[in-house]
Amino acid sequence: MHEVKLLSFDCYGTLIDWEAGMVKALEIIKGKYGLEEDLHRLVDRYVQIELEVEKERYRKYSDVLTISLSKLLNEAGINPEPEDTRLFVKTLPSWPPFPETSSVIRQLKELGYKLAILSNIDNDLIAQSVKLIGAEFDYIITAEMTRSYKPAPGHWDMLLRVSGVERERVLHVAASIVHDIRPAKRLGFKAVWINRRGDTKPSDVEPDYTMPNLEPLPTIL
């Protein structure tokens, strides 16, 4: 894959361990309201709710987080206090990178590749996450910039415009089939699926590579 010039990454779930961050936040809710559901299953349900909220119309991601968490808790029989519906917004900047994230990103940078983040996020929220990763990205494209959410094509369209790199020379790396891998392949990009949970691949999409984490990424380039 010597022709690749630019690697684009989803952030949350790919570079940042957003499930761990959400579970930790939900533990606070559990302690306050006596939540009995399995927290990892609640995170899976949250992802479904968030996707539907994002489809309604463009809102800032901080509002998407608040609305989606409120809906999730309502489904669980909880009528949360307003401050608790913003728990994801408050804690997101501290959600940790995956253990290999920083070293792999630095290695790719040292190898001379251009690097980008394409994220369904607000500008202010992603800034702290990038600091935690501790590596430099050439381009950061957010939902606030495109005023759309993946799987809509706005992030990829903007990346091609601002980078000047041809579509065939971009490799997109992400954990979400729905938000990233399926649309990236549909748009003609090469794609690496980071399958951290060992999920079964849907039959309607074929990533160019599948990996359990970011560690093997430099070896395929």
Cα separations in angstroms, 95 against 13, 76, 128, 217? 10, 24, 9, 23
CB–CB of 87/69 below 8 Å? yes
Nearest-CA neighbor of 18 among 159, 199, 201, 196? 196
88: nearest Cα among 21, 17, 20, 133? 21
Catalytic annotation on 180? no
- The one catalytic residue in 10, 17, 84, 122 is 10
82 within 8 A of 101, measured Cβ to Cβ: no
CA–CA gap between residue 170 and residue 191 (Å, rounded): 9
DSSP 180: I
Token pair for residue 14? Answer: 């790919």
Report, as residue numbers or ranges, the catalytic residues. 10
